Structure 1
Amino acid sequence: MSPRIGFTGDVMLGRVVDDRQRRRPVDAVWGSTLERLQHLDGLVSNLECVLSTRGTPWQRTYRPFHFRADPDWAVPALERAGVDVCALANNHVLDYETVALRDTLEHLDEAGIAHAGAGETIDEALEPARFAAGDVDVAVVSLTDNTPEYAADEDSPGTAWIPVDVEDETTRERVETALERARETNPDLLVASLHWGPNMVTEPPESFREFARYLVDHGVGFVHGHSAHVFHGLEVYDGVPIVYDAGDFVDDYRVDPELRNDRSFLFVLSTSADGAHEDLRLYPTEIDDCAVHEASPGAAEWARDRMRQLSEPFGTTFERDDEALVCSLEG
């Protein structure tokens, strides 16, 4: 059986989630999804907060939201779920200034959870994360176009920031550096995890489609997008799944009654060491009481219908297998 690698959208463990988790078991945040998560061979998530109790809220530019979680519970929670990689190139890793970013890197390192997309310098931020899913060696690069003031440079900590523009010289240089470093590890699967675009939009712009295809043409075997807080349609390009946005996996956000940012999927890729993808399964999820759960029948049906509708313009087709959607990878 091919190893199964899970991908989630945003995992935001701060604010009300952090408060609730201080009074309940550390794995409660994963709700009824915990068993499914633990049975995966690998798990990649966008960590949408810092893991620290230190620092002061970023004030150098206007930032309305600041997210951090107490590492005393948050790190064990990530371990219980079996998270292998945290993508850190996003718009919250400097919410509590550099001390909290450094705490986050240290806590993840101590827990043996790989990370990519942020570091002491841009050079560190472009380094890939690596893990093994069964007999499949995986490398993950993490990039963002959000919050340029959080960008790392040659001397300052921050994110692997780029404009999403295949013609931009800085973009091409940084992307090609990140991909080349990942390829040097000789992975069976190269993943690009991208925190891109604004909140609450329902489809990717053409520039994102061009960029995703550029990544696939340069050896990326799975595109893992997030940032919009709502899932987008799924495209298959040259046999490679492009998840333009995975939505939110867990958070405390206000729910839009039409866009339903509390509903998404756990994306599970079955792949092999020879680089052949077997299938991509989408398991519906929903957020309730600051925890993620397997979606109720009504929420699951809504999410499946919505994914089919959003994916139709890309020519992507699905079959139903129990509660999951199974994506055809013959695009």
Structure 2
Amino acid sequence: MTLRIGLTGDVMLGRLVDERQRRRPVEAVWGDLLDRLRSSDALFVNLECCLSTRGEPWRRTHRPFHFRADPGWAIPALERAGVDACALANNHVLDFETVGLCDTLDELDDAGIAHAGAGRTLDEALEPAFVTVGDRTIAFVSFTDNTPEYAAAETSPGTAFIEIDVNDAETRSSVSEALCRARRGDPDLVVASLHWGPNMVERPPDSFRRFARWLLDEGVDVVHGHSAHVFHGIEIHDGKPCLYDTGDFVDDYAVDARLRNDRSFLFELTVTVDGRVSELRLLPTEIDDYAVHEATLEAAEWSRARMRELSSEFATAFERDGEELVLTLDG
């Protein structure tokens, strides 16, 4: 039996999204995509906020934005969509200090939603998430190079922070440790989720490409990137997909008229019985009224053309199936 696994970019449920959600049904944040999200055998997102009603905004260093969502609606919303695991290694999970992070961990644990990339100690932050679908196991690891002041230490909470440098000994040690733990679970698929690089850049630097290839050579099956707020092209390395950036899925951010950070995709992987990714489908999405929707015809055409252009730089070419882009991977 094949599996269909959904991946999204940033899911930021705080600030204006949080305010709007208090006056509408919890599933409204998923717009007209709820059924599609629920139809995935497994769904993984980057959770770009903390889930708490407590804590004070981080003031130890300058932070212009602080994102926090009320778990009273946010957890049911994640459950309604069928979210199985959240990447927490990012630059907002500690926006409301340690109490906000610990509440997030507790809320996800209580809901049975797996998570990786942050913890009460560095050891916890490096721990993979495991999601079981039938007789199949998916391992999910999460890292970030954003906001070093949020990094976990041996006895203090924070994120799984690394430098994106294949020659950095500490980076190789941290990533290798997380992957070693993942392999102990005998997974059928390993996903590495990376919140890397600055905002509003259109292409990954060469250092990211080298790092992604190293991950794939080390046994990762899919690289799931995010942070730029705009999607990047997709590269295939040794038959494995690298999604350098999956853009924004839902948020309240100001929209750049040229880069259109309100437009992206739901990325869906088809995984074969032997654990190989055989197909990648991209359904165009668009953010409106602080919710995600299937893209309008004009927005979908723009996103498809942009993805084709960016991916062609990696010699990646898509077919078209209705509104979706489809990439068939060689075995």
TM range (shorter): over 0.9
Gaps of 5+ in 2: none
Partner of 1:198: 198
The answer on whether the counterparts of 2:9 and 2:226 sit within 8 Å (CA) in structure 1 is: yes
Residue identity opposite 1:244 in structure 2 = Y
Letter in 2 for 1:39: S
1:122 alignment counterpart? 122
2:42 is matched with 42
- Which residue does the alignment assign to 2:179? 179
Deviation at 1:148, TM superposition (A): 0.2
SS in 2 for 1:138: strand
Q: Secondary structure at the match of 1:257?
A: coil
In structure 2, distance between residues paired with 1:265 and 1:177: 31
Shift of 1:246: 0.1
Hey, what's the Cα distance between the residues in 1 that align with 2:274 and 2:15? 43
How do 1:287-302 residues align onto structure 2 when only pairs under 5 Å count?
287-302=287-302
1:8 is matched with: 8
| Aligned equivalent of 2:160 | 160
Q: Is the 8 A contact 1:136 1:272 kept in 2?
A: no
Superposed counterparts of 1:305-320, under 5 Å:
305-320=305-320
Q: Which runs of 5+ in 1 are unaligned?
A: none
Per-residue deviation, 1:54: 0.1
User: Which residue is 1:72 aligned to?
Assistant: 72
SS in 2 for 1:314: coil
Q: Distance in 1 between matches of 2:328 and 2:201?
A: 25
Q: Is the 8 A contact 1:10 1:229 kept in 2?
A: yes
Q: TM-score, length-normalised on structure 2?
A: 0.99
Q: Residue by residue, what CA displacement relative to the aligned partner does 1:117-163 show, whole Å, maximum 9, x if unpaired?
A: 00011110000001023443100000000000000010110000000
CA distance in 2, matches of 1:276, 1:150: 35
Tell whether 2:228 aligns with 1:228.
yes
**Partner deviation per Cα, 1:4-51 (whole Å, 9 max, x = no partner):** 000000000000000000000000000011010011100000000000
Mapped partners of 1:226, 1:134: distance in 2:
28
Per-residue CA deviation, residues 203-231 of structure 1 (Å, 9 max, x unaligned), is 00000000000000000000000000000
Distance (whole Å) between structure 2 residues aligned to residue 65 and residue 276 of structure 1: 39
Distance 1:147 1:55 in 2: 19
Please show how residues 18-29 of structure 1 align to structure 2 within 5 Å. Answer: 18-29=18-29
Distance 1:191 1:276 in 2: 12
Q: Which residue is equivalent to 2:149?
A: 149
- The alignment covers a number of residue pairs equal to 331
Provide the C-alpha distance between the structure 1 equivalents of 2:277 and 2:221, rounded to a whole number of angstroms.
9
Q: CA deviation at 1:327?
A: 1.4
| Alpha-carbon distance, 1:96 to partner | 0.2
Superposed displacement of residue 328, structure 1: 3.2
Indicate conservation of the 8 Å contact 1:130/1:139, yes or no: yes
CA separation of 1:278/1:330 partners in 2, compared to 1, >3 Å: closer, same or farther? closer
Counterpart-to-counterpart distance in 2, 1:2 and 1:255: 37
CA distance in 1, matches of 2:240, 2:2: 16
Q: When the two structures are superposed, what TM-score results if normalisation uses the length of structure 1?
A: 0.99
Secondary structure of the corresponding residue to residue 66 of structure 1: coil
User: Would the alpha carbon gap of residues 323 and 133 (structure 1) be closer, same or farther in structure 2, given more than 3 Å must change?
Assistant: farther
Counterpart of 1:215 in structure 2: which amino acid? L
Deviation at 1:330, TM superposition (A): 3.4
Q: Distance in 2 between matches of 1:185 and 1:2?
A: 20
Alpha-carbon separation, structure 1, partners of 2:127 and 2:145: 17
CA distance in 2, matches of 1:328, 1:317: 9
Checking the alignment, whether the CA contact within 8 Å between 2:278 and 2:328 is kept in structure 1 is no
Q: Kindly report which structure 2 residues correspond to 1:85-100, keeping only aligned pairs within 5 A, or say none.
A: 85-100=85-100
